[in-house]
Structure 1
Amino acid sequence: MSVYYKPSGRITVGGILGFVVVGLVAAVVLAFAYVYATWYIPFIYINVLLTLGFGAVLGYVLNRMTTVGKLRNPALVGWLALAIGLWAWYVQWAVYLTLLNGAGETEYAGRRFSITHTSFELDTFLGIIARPDLVLSMLPRIAEDGMWSIFTVKVSGFVLYLVWFAELVILLAFPWIVSHSEAGAPFSERAGQWAEKLTFPQPAAAFPDTEATKAALEAARWDHLQPLTGEETTNPYGRLILHTAPNDEDCCYLSLENVTIEVDDKGKSSEKTVDVLQYLQVSPQVCRDLHARFGAAAVPA
């Protein structure tokens, strides 16, 4: 018997339908917003952020639908997320080609920036989106001519294909990662609810030998977890995260991280975390003991 949480793989018909329908609709809405924003904002750096935002928001929507639909099948949810991400990529191309078809006068703002005015025709869009062969056949032509310039240098050919590939990866990876992860999070089948995540404020001594730590905790040697006192400071340090279902005391899982505080040249600090173990099942008594030992203290600066 595994000492780690394993998703049941259960789903609901309503949950799957909600995931797919809301995901497809969200992809269309976000595709329109993304294409219009990149069309009228002639700054490549902002466009990169818009692409990341496109993938992140779509991922967030699918993550929420995974939670609401109580989908505990990471493989199925992951494949559906990839399909919806691919749909989002395809729709944004259909929107772009529609705007390209309606393109009119180009307005220049100096030598480096220009905006081409366009109009959107619903009939044209519906005709394009129903023709995957047409959409795919247009990509080599666009790649040959280029879509935009960086400092008057036209981006085309192989470089443009790389940009498109990165865009596709973002739209596939973000939704897959967050929805797959959520579907694999602890869930109480008895209570019918997701476990709540609690990050203990009391830091622990770091776990330099992760395999030794895993072996000790799998053997129920809880003395391996040592809280740091208020006077101690260490970098890195250990962090304990507990996942518990309020209505099921047997649903209690422990995750550990090594946390390192890094300071850049400007004095700005950032946190780097490395997983030590994830979702180790612990007994209700151990769960209470961990609350008592790590439930109240400040994290080292």
Structure 2
Amino acid sequence: MENLHYQPSGIMPGKGIVLSLVIAFVSTVILSIAYIALQWFIPIIYLNVFITLGLGFGIFMALNFALGIGKIRNTRYAFILSVVCALLAFYSQWALFVSLMYEASGSMGGGTWVKSSFNLDGFWYIFTHPKLLFDSMVSLNEVGTFTIKKSTVSGGFLWVVWVIEALMILGIPVISSLAGKATKPFSELNNAWMEEKELETKLSFIEDKDGFIQKLTNGNFEALKPAPADADLSSSYAQMVVFESPGDGVKYLTVRNVVHNVDKKGNDKVDKTDIVEYFRITSALPV
């Protein structure tokens, strides 16, 4: 039976592999440097949380760009690359931080320092000596690296903070890669990623997800009929998104429920839930 949902081909062009590796690794190192620079000059723990989240999502976006440029349609490769880049980011930012600490002048009293300067040789030495890096982390943990309400954070609590930081840096790009660029519809005919097009036509809110999917599976495309003209679609409806490429007779359809809510501040909050993703359709289907 023909697969009714898009499945990545698994193709990895040789040129694409080289491009994706270079772009991914260079971007990861640059983002790690930017991360430490921001943490160094903005030593506010609450803002550092957002900076850490930014590093995780930044790596994911860089990976998506790298995989897109390389036309990589292999999800296993994309996952492995995300793991490697996440580990590289975590390791390199620590190596940079420790190397800056060795160059720091002033007192570490209260978990602060005066100034530092980057030393490439020192950074590379620490980067290539994992044991020295870990030993330095242990030493830094004993004295603390920041303060909360004038109290230096060190010891067990600091280890917890570092573990949470590691989970964000490692987890965000790896988990996000499961729905990243390599999983998106690609036209093998045109050797190009399909364009994503959000249709203006709205469907009635889909209450029975399983029933809706079953209708599509059975070829009953009455399920895609537009909502009645008098239907109230102001707060909830179903939205269709088509992935297509010029000249390619195959398209892929994603249908999602959209719900508009108003939060406590009176702002509109939109929640989207996929009902079916990348369902294979033909150009004959009027969507």
Q: What's the TM-score, normalizing by structure 2? A: 0.92
Q: Is the 8 A contact 2:24 2:63 kept in 1?
A: yes
- C-alpha separation in 2, matches of 1:230 and 1:113: 64
Question: How big is each residue's C-alpha offset from its partner over 1:104-143, in whole Å with a ceiling of 9 and x where there is no partner?
Answer: 12599xxx99553112222111110111122123323322
- C-alpha separation in 2, matches of 1:214 and 1:225: 11
Q: Is the 8 A contact 2:20 2:70 kept in 1?
A: yes
- C-alpha separation in 2, matches of 1:207 and 1:163: 43
- C-alpha separation in 2, matches of 1:162 and 1:256: 41
- C-alpha separation in 2, matches of 1:220 and 1:161: 56
The residue aligned with 1:297 is none
1:89 aligns with 2:87: no
The residue aligned with 2:65 is 64
Deviation, 1:243, is 0.7
- C-alpha separation in 1, matches of 2:113 and 2:262: 41
Q: Is the 8 A contact 1:205 1:227 kept in 2?
A: yes
Describe the shift of the 1:119–1:197 C-alpha distance in structure 2 as closer, same or farther (beyond 3 A): same
Q: Which moved more, 1:178-187 or 1:46-55?
A: 178-187
- C-alpha separation in 1, matches of 2:15 and 2:201: 41
The residue aligned with 1:124 is 122
1:220 aligns with 2:219: yes
The residue aligned with 1:249 is 249
Runs of 4+ aligned structure 1 residues displaced above 4 Å come to 112-115, 177-180
1:152 aligns with 2:153: no
Question: How big is each residue's C-alpha offset from its partner over 1:171-208, in whole Å with a ceiling of 9 and x where there is no partner?
Answer: 22333345442101111112111111111122211111
1:140 aligns with 2:138: yes
- C-alpha separation in 1, matches of 2:108 and 2:98: 20
- C-alpha separation in 2, matches of 1:231 and 1:143: 65
Gaps of 5+ in 1: 291-301
- Letter of the structure 1 residue corresponding to residue 51 of structure 2: L
Find the residue that maps to 2:196 and give its secondary structure. Answer: strand
Find the residue that maps to 1:3 and give its secondary structure. Answer: coil
Q: Is the 8 A contact 1:59 1:175 kept in 2?
A: yes
- Letter of the structure 1 residue corresponding to residue 148 of structure 2: I
Find the residue that maps to 2:239 and give its secondary structure. Answer: strand
The residue aligned with 1:197 is 196
Q: Which moved more, 1:191-200 or 1:50-59?
A: 50-59
Q: Which moved more, 1:86-95 or 1:131-140?
A: 131-140
- Letter of the structure 2 residue corresponding to residue 246 of structure 1: P
How many residues are aligned here? 284
The residue aligned with 1:262 is 261
Q: What's the TM-score, normalizing by structure 1? A: 0.88
The residue aligned with 1:35 is 36
- Letter of the structure 2 residue corresponding to residue 50 of structure 1: I
Describe the shift of the 1:159–1:218 C-alpha distance in structure 2 as closer, same or farther (beyond 3 A): farther
Describe the shift of the 1:157–1:216 C-alpha distance in structure 2 as closer, same or farther (beyond 3 A): farther
Describe the shift of the 1:41–1:13 C-alpha distance in structure 2 as closer, same or farther (beyond 3 A): same
The residue aligned with 2:206 is 207
Find the residue that maps to 1:220 and give its secondary structure. Answer: coil
Q: Is the 8 A contact 1:98 1:121 kept in 2?
A: yes
Find the residue that maps to 2:240 and give its secondary structure. Answer: strand
Q: Which moved more, 1:27-36 or 1:151-160?
A: 151-160
Question: How big is each residue's C-alpha offset from its partner over 1:68-113, in whole Å with a ceiling of 9 and x where there is no partner?
Answer: 10100011111111101100110000100011101112599xxx99
Deviation, 1:24, is 1.4
- C-alpha separation in 2, matches of 1:121 and 1:107: 20
- Equivalent runs, 1:225-244 vs 2, <5 Å: 225-229=224-228, 231-234=230-233, 235-244=235-244
The residue aligned with 2:282 is 283
Deviation, 1:30, is 1.5
The residue aligned with 2:162 is 164
- C-alpha separation in 1, matches of 2:148 and 2:97: 20
Describe the shift of the 1:7–1:141 C-alpha distance in structure 2 as closer, same or farther (beyond 3 A): same
Q: Is the 8 A contact 2:111 2:153 kept in 1?
A: no
